[in-house]
Amino acid sequence: MTETKQKRKPRKYTDEFKQQLVDLYHSGRRRCDICREYDIAHSLFDKWVKQAETSGSFHEKDNRPPEQEEVIWLRKENRRR
């Protein structure tokens, strides 16, 4: 008999919460312990750490490379025409 896995509803995290977890990591807490305690995927936590170290912002628009910003801008311009 197979078990059906229930889908988890998407969770939303505040910037303050993300920063608190990144601060825990920078203060010496192990990544695996943080992820286990707060039930966060390792890849998601790694993304937050990278964002905090790169731009200090957890918003996608603040973490895009300039090339990607240009592509988005060009697409918007083409739609206006």
pLDDT at residue 64, as a whole number: 75
- Identify the CA nearest to 21 among candidates 3, 7, 9, 35: 35
DSSP assignment, residue 60? G
Task: Report which DSSP code applies to 10.
Answer: P
Is 1 or 9 the better-scoring residue by pLDDT? Answer: 9
CA 59 to CA 12: how far, in whole Å? 13
Q: Is the pLDDT of residue 33 over 80?
A: yes
Q: With 60 as the cut, is the pLDDT of residue 20 above it?
A: yes
- Segment 1-16 shows an average pLDDT of 82
Q: What is the mean pLDDT of the chain?
A: 87
Mean pLDDT, residues 17-41: 96
DSSP secondary structure of 22-55: HHHHHTT--HHHHHHHHT--HHHHHHHHHHHHHT
Regarding pTM above 0.75, the answer is no
